[in-house]
Amino acid sequence: MKKLPELRQEKNALKTQIRSIMDKATEEKHDLNADEGKQFDELRAKAESLDTDISRLEALADEERNQPGKPVDGKKVSNDERRHYRRGDRH
């Protein structure tokens, strides 16, 4: 699956195309013809599908942000190891 910024960019591109279709019809002072209507509907369906994907990824990001930190697994660190770590293992 694409990342959130890519999906948002793709959705914005679709919205620009949709707006272009509508602006062209307005400039030419006519309703959408069959081809324009079909193209409009297809682009709108793609944009709505992207909305769904975007919502899912945003919900997942929210869940991940709100999760408490995971405890560190493994053995406990000894005092001797801590001392070496603090001083950068200098002798």
pLDDT computed for residue 35 by the predictor: 97
Identify the band that residue 67 occupies on the pLDDT scale cut at 50, 70 and 90.
Answer: confident
Angle at 89 between CA 87 and CA 90, to 5 degrees: 80
- pTM for this model (two decimals): 0.67
Q: Who has greater pLDDT, 86 or 2?
A: 2
Q: What is the mean pLDDT of residues 58-87?
A: 75
Question: Is 72 exposed, middle or buried, given 0-12, 13-18 or 19+ CB atoms closer than 10 A?
Answer: exposed
Question: Is 50 exposed, middle or buried, given 0-12, 13-18 or 19+ CB atoms closer than 10 A?
Answer: buried
pLDDT computed for residue 87 by the predictor: 65
3-state secondary structure of 78: coil
